[in-house]
Amino acid sequence: MGRRIKKPDPSRILKAVLTAVAVLFAAGIVFGCFYRVNEQQNAVVTQFGKIVRTDTAGLYFKLPYIQQVHLVDMTTHGTGIGYYVENGQNITDTTDGIMITSDFNLLDIDFYLEYKVNDPVAYLYYSDEPEQILRNIALAS
Phi and psi of 10, rounded to 5°?
A: -60, -35
Residues 80 and 108 in one domain: yes
Query: Are 69 and 14 members of one domain?
Result: yes
Enclosing domain of residue 17: 10-73
pLDDT in tens, 67-76: 999 999 999 9
Whether residues 80 and 133 share a domain: the answer is yes
Closest of 117, 121, 120 to residue 134, by C-alpha: 117
CB 93 within 8 A of CB 84: yes
pLDDT in tens, 12-58: 888 989 999 999 999 888 888 999 999 999 999 999 999 999 999 99
Q: Are 41 and 71 in contact (CB under 8 A)?
A: yes
- For residue 60, tell me if it sits in a domain: yes
**What integer pLDDT is reported at residue 28 of this predicted model?**
86
Q: What pairs with residue 3 in β-bridges? A: none
Asked if residue 113 lies in contact with residue 135, where contact means CB atoms within 8 angstroms, the answer is: yes
**What's the rounded Cα separation, in Å, for the pair 94 and 91?**
9
Residue 73 has a pLDDT of: 94
Of 73, 100, 119, which one is at a domain's C-terminal end? 73
- In this predicted structure, the answer to whether residue 1 has a pLDDT above a threshold of 60 is no
Percentage of residues of the chain with pLDDT beyond 90: 43
49 and 82 in a single domain? The answer is no
β-pairing, 41-47 vs 50-55, is: antiparallel
pTM: 0.69
Same domain, 52 and 30: yes
